């Protein structure tokens, strides 16, 4: 059993008490944010609301040069030796284009927009962490940087990437970043923490198959059937994961769109297919892209047609730093009980723009249980998704403990 008093002078009981005291305010933040959802790159009101809350806490919010991002620093007052480190805690706060069907009494006041991914809870928890850490300034040295990040849902114009490019990890230089995401497959009071990765690289591809039109009944041999070529390509793409990549190389390739043909009795001269490619390691990512291109070109050429692959690289994968993993894992065990810190047992193949932090500085990201009944809990991005707010004290405690431990270690 690790002795936590080394890292936390006031003791665990006092921390829980401090968190209990801020929960009514955190709940109000959450409800306000939930009622006022804004989509990626349009989070003006939420950004102003967060900045005002930070001022009320006694902090100085700094607007990002890009978009609606906000950051704020809390400097510890504990005398320290030579080492003054900085840890960033990040929360996103954009919403989705979806009409809410939760029926809750703080439902979205904006038709067609909703916090369906729990980012309202993330931002509210970070404000709670700000308040608690500000009270505990005498207990740590170094700096906690709070990052309120917009536009997580726009993978091609990611808010994380924009804030990093605008310098959020500098001045003071950030040594580590932590992030969390509510997750309905995990019960309240538990987390999923993967030792190696937290999210997958999320790429998008578009294949255009070109053939030659002809009469489909009278003279199919005079055409080049783009639909038949597309069918072969679809079949062959399945072998990338099943036969060309190793069993340890995590990958998913799915085609979600296929469009082609003009009339039932005409050989189609053009088919468009679009899909997603998810991978974890950078080498598997490059290999999957190369194989997609090779297979597509080879099949099209062998059938007398041609094909063009447009491969758009989206988010990279989020990789958890080994030391931070150990730190968060032990602090989460202290907060929740060791039996409640779970290995997911499967790799998350979803995308998350926290990945950009993890590619810049050592990082750790985990999933916070937010369901009372995991079997009947709507998934993320569902119009009925409503994380249970009882998860919030747990999320706050894990983040506060981990930040204190990192800065006092
Ligand atoms: Ni999300």
Q: Give residue 118 CA to ligand 1 midpoint distance, Å.
A: 6
Question: What is the per-residue pLDDT for 12?
Answer: 60
Q: What's the burial of 15, exposed, middle or buried (CB within 10 Å: 0-12/13-18/19+)?
A: buried
Mean predicted confidence (pLDDT) in 100-104: 97
Terminal-residue alpha carbon distance, the chain: 17
Per the confidence metrics, is the pTM higher than 0.75? yes
**In the predicted structure, residue 291 carries a pLDDT above the cut 70:** yes
Question: What is the per-residue pLDDT for 255?
Answer: 97
Q: Which residues pair with 307 in a beta bridge?
A: 209
Q: Give residue 153 CA to ligand 1 midpoint distance, Å.
A: 7
Q: Give residue 96 CA to ligand 1 midpoint distance, Å.
A: 10
CA distance 143 to 59: 13
CA distance 270 to 211: 6
CA distance 11 to 311: 52
Question: What is the per-residue pLDDT for 8?
Answer: 52
Question: What is the per-residue pLDDT for 4?
Answer: 47
Residue 247 — φ and ψ, nearest 5°?
-65, -25
CA distance 318 to 100: 29
Question: What is the per-residue pLDDT for 81?
Answer: 73
Q: Give residue 117 CA to ligand 1 midpoint distance, Å.
A: 5
Alpha helices in 159-225 (DSSP H): 159-165
Q: Give residue 33 CA to ligand 1 midpoint distance, Å.
A: 15
Question: What is the per-residue pLDDT for 409?
Answer: 86
Question: What is the per-residue pLDDT for 3?
Answer: 44
Q: Give residue 181 CA to ligand 1 midpoint distance, Å.
A: 7
CB 229 within 8 A of CB 209: yes
Q: Give residue 331 CA to ligand 1 midpoint distance, Å.
A: 23
CA distance 119 to 122: 5
Q: Give residue 307 CA to ligand 1 midpoint distance, Å.
A: 35
CB 100 within 8 A of CB 120: no
Q: How far is CA 32 from CA 38, 72, 110, 121, in A?
A: 12, 21, 12, 10
Neighbours of 109 (CB within 10 A): 11
Residues 245-270: tens digit of each pLDDT: 999 999 999 999 999 999 999 999 99
CA distance 59 to 36: 23
Mean predicted confidence (pLDDT) in 116-120: 98
Question: What is the per-residue pLDDT for 407?
Answer: 96
Question: What is the per-residue pLDDT for 82?
Answer: 72
Mean predicted confidence (pLDDT) in 380-395: 97
Enclosing H/E stretch for 56: helix 44-57
CA distance 207 to 256: 12
**In the predicted structure, residue 384 carries a pLDDT above the cut 60:** yes
Out of 17-21, 114-118, 153-157, least confident range: 153-157
Mean pLDDT (the chain) is 95
Question: What is the per-residue pLDDT for 2?
Answer: 45
DSSP 358-375: HTTS-EEEEEEEEES-GG
- Comparing CA positions, the residue from 212, 248, 210 lying closest to residue 230 is 210
Q: Give residue 120 CA to ligand 1 midpoint distance, Å.
A: 10
Q: Give residue 110 CA to ligand 1 midpoint distance, Å.
A: 19
Residues 150-183: tens digit of each pLDDT: 999 998 899 999 999 999 999 999 999 999 999 9
Mean predicted confidence (pLDDT) in 208-222: 96
Alpha helices in 182-281 (DSSP H): 226-239
Q: Give residue 350 CA to ligand 1 midpoint distance, Å.
A: 10
Q: Give residue 229 CA to ligand 1 midpoint distance, Å.
A: 37
CB 53 within 8 A of CB 117: no
């Amino acid at each position: 059993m690790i002795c936590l008093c080394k890292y936390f002078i006031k003791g665990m009981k006092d921390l829980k008490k401090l968190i209990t005291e801020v929960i009514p305010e955190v709940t109000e933040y959450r409800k306000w944010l939930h009622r006022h959802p804004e989509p990626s790159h349009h989070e003006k009101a939420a950004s102003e609301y967060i900045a005002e809350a930070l001022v009320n806490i006694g902090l100085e919010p700094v607007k990002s040069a890009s978009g609606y991002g906000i950051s704020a620093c809390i400097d510890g007052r504990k005398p320290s030796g030579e080492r003054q480190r900085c840890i960033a805690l990040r929360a996103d706060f954009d919403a989705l284009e979806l009409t809410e069907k939760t029926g809750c009494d703080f439902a979205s006041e904006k038709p067609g927009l909703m916090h369906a991914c729990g980012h309202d809870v993330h931002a509210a928890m970070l404000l709670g962490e700000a308040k608690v850490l500000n009270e505990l300034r005498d207990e740590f040295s170094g700096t906690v940087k709070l990052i309120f990040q917009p536009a997580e849902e726009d993978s091609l114009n990611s808010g994380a990437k924009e804030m990093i490019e605008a310098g959020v990890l500098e001045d003071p230089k950030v040594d580590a970043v932590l992030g969390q995401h509510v997750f309905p497959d995990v019960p309240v009071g538990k987390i999923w923490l993967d030792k190696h990765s937290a999210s997958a690289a999320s790429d998008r591809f578009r294949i255009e198959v070109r053939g030659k039109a002809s009469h489909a009944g009278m003279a199919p041999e005079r055409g080049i059937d783009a639909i038949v070529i597309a069918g072969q390509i679809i079949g062959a793409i399945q072998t990338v994961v099943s036969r060309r990549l190793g069993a340890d190389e995590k990958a998913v390739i799915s085609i979600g769109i296929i469009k082609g043909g003009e009339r039932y009795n005409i050989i189609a001269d053009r088919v468009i297919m679009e899909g997603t490619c998810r991978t974890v390691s950078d080498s598997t990512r490059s290999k999957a892209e190369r194989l997609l291109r090779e297979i597509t070109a080879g099949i099209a050429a062998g059938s007398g047609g041609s094909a063009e692959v447009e491969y758009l690289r989206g988010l990279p994968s989020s990789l958890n730093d080994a030391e931070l993993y150990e730190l968060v894992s032990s602090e989460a065990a202290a907060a929740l009980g060791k039996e409640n810190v779970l290995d997911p047992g499967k790799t998350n193949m979803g995308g998350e723009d926290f990945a950009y932090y993890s590619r810049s500085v050592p990082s750790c990201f985990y999933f916070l249980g937010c369901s009372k009944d995991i079997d009947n809990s709507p998934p993320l991005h569902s119009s009925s998704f409503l994380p249970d707010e009882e998860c919030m004290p747990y999320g706050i405690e894990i983040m506060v403990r981990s930040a204190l431990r990192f800065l006092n270690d």
